[in-house]
Amino acid sequence: MRPKDPDVLIVGSGFSGIVAANVLADHHLDVLLLDENVHVGGQILRSVPERLGTQTAAVSDGVRRAGFRFINNLQRKKVHIMNRAVALGIYPNRELLVEVEGKRVLVLRPKIVLFATGARERFLPFPGWTLPGVISTGAVQILMKSSGVLFSREILIGGAGLFLLAVAHDFQKNGGKVMAVLDETPMTNKLLLLTQLVHHFSKLTQGVGYIAHLALAGVPIRYQTRILEARGDSQLKEVITSKVDRSGSATEGKKKAHETGALAVGYGFCPNIELPQLAGCCIEYDETKGGWVVKVSDQLESTVENVFAAGEITGIAGALKSLNEGRIAALAILRRLGKISEKDSSSKFERLGRERRQHLQFGRCFNRLYSVPDEAFRQIPPETIVCRCEDVTVGDVRRAIEQGCHTPGAVKKATRIGMGPCQGRTCGPVLYGLIAAYIRRSPQEIPLLSVRSPTKPVSMSALLTCDVP
């Protein structure tokens, strides 16, 4: 039997999703909130006991508290929540295919869809990054926040950007030992950011707080330092690093070996645009927003009517922007469904719009910190695996490009890159970077890999429960 179609279906229960759900439910709309995780709250609002002592990157505690309040209100406001629900696909007229608990597949036809699918981490592969013992900075943070588990006793942290510092800080605070934080990018980038953060005082003090804490604990922070290689037979044993110059070239003769069984890496964030892309929404490239993002109007409507987008997928800028955009999207949806008049809401829109522009400005500074130069992609050795699912190497990709495959789709057909269970979510951004670097084009000239339904693996037994007329 088909469940009743909701007025509004929200995909993703992070900040944007829960805030929008709260506002919409206040106006007695029938809201269905989907999330792939077992918990509501997304990556920032993982339900941690306060005594865990972890903090979240670039979110002051007040924001987190507000977030948990929004979550608590959802039930009282009768928002329908579906956890372990995966949106597998979206078809014309907002017809969605949703897998629930790995067991059944539903078809839903809401009046409005709000995508709030968040972001994932970016990577810059190096030989040995597939070895057990090498993990993402995000996963290290999630282990601490959700389960109170340290990935290891000691850890080396590397990559690019401020999130490395947040993870290092939390790891130390929870009793682990951070050997060093190694950042690809130059320190002057950070100083530049500090000068632009005067309007974002809480973020500024938090960043400075991390650095001070790590300095006190004696954790070295090294800039312009790249992870060249991870070594070990079947488990990480040693990490080789090198200094890099401003163009992204590793400097000869300045290599260093670190003995460690644990290495966490992260190179910034990448918006989860696959579902909006499948829905036919225009996806645009904007380096200052963190790459490919959903193109939205001031009201956060995508280029497809009645499909809205909020949060990191419209530009990476952190939880405060997501919270703000959850509100804007909800107001726009209320207007569309005739629940509030344009006249009554225009001053609210103006205020929220002003706030949004400030958050976007913060994002512009922030995303600059993570930008990896083309030369860094050209320097990845050929034996390095890019696609972890299908074991496709940089050499394989390079050969395909030399044979004339100048689009990600063509390289995919030639090499099977992006054809595994993650469907190119991990290797896709790397592939775009490799092609742009090799054929010397700007990233916006490289078309995205196509997305097809089902967007994530689904079992046949679940699919067969689907009741399609």
Partner 1 sequence: MVQDLRIPTIKRKDKLQIYVNGKPVTAYAGETVFSALQASHYTKFNRSKKLAAPRGALCGMGVCFGCQVSINGVKSQRSCMTDVEDRMEVEIDET
Decide: is 465 part of the binding site for partner 1 (CB under 8 A): no
Contact predicate 38/84, CB 8 Å: yes
468 is a site residue for partner 1 (CB under 8 A)? no
Tell me if 148 contacts partner 1 by CB under 8 A.
yes
Question: Closer to partner 1 at the Cβ: 213 or 388?
Answer: 388
* Shortest spacing between CB 227 and partner 1, in angstroms: 15
Q: Which of 28, 78, 153, 255 binds partner 1 (CB under 8 A)?
A: 153
Q: How many Å separate Cα 391 from the centre of its chain?
A: 23
Identity of the residue, 22 or 146, whose beta carbon is nearer to partner 1 in the bound complex: 146
Q: Does 152 bind partner 1 (CB under 8 A)?
A: yes
Burial of 202 by CB count in 10 Å (0-12 exposed, 13-18 middle, 19+ buried)? Answer: middle
Nearest CA to 21 among 93, 71, 82, 84? 71
CA distances (Å), origin 178, targets 18, 84, 202, 280, 408: 34, 34, 25, 44, 37
Residues of this chain, 47-86, that bind partner 1 according to CB under 8 A: 49, 51-53, 84
Instruction: Name, in order, each residue with C-beta under 8 angstroms of 414's C-beta and a sequence gap of 6 or more.
Output: 400, 403, 405
User: Is residue 426 at the binding interface for partner 1, with CB under 8 A as the rule?
Assistant: yes
Q: Which of 64, 94, 120, 203 binds partner 1 (CB under 8 A)?
A: 120
> What is the Cα gyration radius of the chain?
22
Indicate the residue among 26 and 383 with the shorter CB distance to partner 1.
383
Contact 302, 173 (CB under 8 A): no
First to last CA, the chain: 11
Query: Which residue of 144, 162, 376, 380 would you call a contact of partner 1, by CB under 8 A?
Result: 144
Q: How far apart are CA 380 and CA 19, in angstroms?
A: 42
Distance CA 187, CA 222 (A): 9
- In the complex, minimum distance from the CB of residue 345 to partner 1, in angstroms, rounded to a whole number: 35
Separation between Cα atoms, residue 28 and residue 33, nearest integer Å: 15
Name the one range near partner 1 by CB under 8 A: 3-11, 31-39, 59-67, 155-163. Answer: 31-39
Of 51 and 343, nearer to partner 1 (C-beta) is 51
Q: Which of 76, 22, 365, 436 is nearest to 197 (CA)?
A: 365
Phi first, then psi: what are they for 387, rounded to 5°?
A: -95, 105
Q: Which of 146, 189, 224, 367 binds partner 1 (CB under 8 A)?
A: 146
Is 464 a binding residue for partner 1 by CB under 8 A? The answer is no
By the rule CB under 8 A, 149 interacts with partner 1: yes
Considering the complex, state which of residue 183 and residue 390 has its C-beta at the smaller distance from partner 1.
390
Query: What residues pair up with 286 in beta bridges, in sequence order?
Result: 291
225 lines the binding site for partner 1 (CB under 8 A): no
Q: How far is the CB of 139 from partner 1 (least distance, A)?
A: 3
Q: How far is CA 215 from CA 131, 178, 212, 221, 268, in A?
A: 30, 11, 5, 8, 23
Question: Interface with partner 1 includes 422 (CB under 8 A)?
Answer: yes
Interface region with partner 1, contact rule CB under 8 A, candidates 5-13, 44-52, 177-185, 444-452: 44-52
Number of residues that bind partner 1 (CB under 8 A): 47
- Is 462 among the residues that bind partner 1 (CB under 8 A)? no
Mask for 160-179, x = binds partner 1 (CB under 8 A): --------------xx----
Is 117 a residue that touches partner 1 (CB under 8 A)? no
Using CB under 8 A, pick the residue from 14, 67, 133, 291 that binds partner 1: 133
Within positions 1 to 30, which residues make up the interface with partner 1, using CB under 8 A? Answer: none
Q: Is 463 in the site for partner 1 (CB under 8 A)?
A: no
299 near partner 1 (CB under 8 A): no
What's the CA gap between 22 and 67, in Å, rounded? 11
Please give the backbone phi and psi of residue 86, each rounded to the nearest 5 degrees, phi first: -110, 120
**What are residue 187's phi and psi, to 5 degrees?**
-65, -30
| Residues 33, 42 contacting (CB under 8 angstroms) | no
Interface residue with partner 1, options 5, 7, 37, 111 (CB under 8 A): 37
Provide the binding-site residues for partner 1, judged by CB under 8 A.
Answer: 36-38, 43, 49, 51-53, 84, 102, 120-121, 130-136, 138-140, 142-144, 146-153, 174-175, 234-235, 388-391, 420-422, 425-426, 457
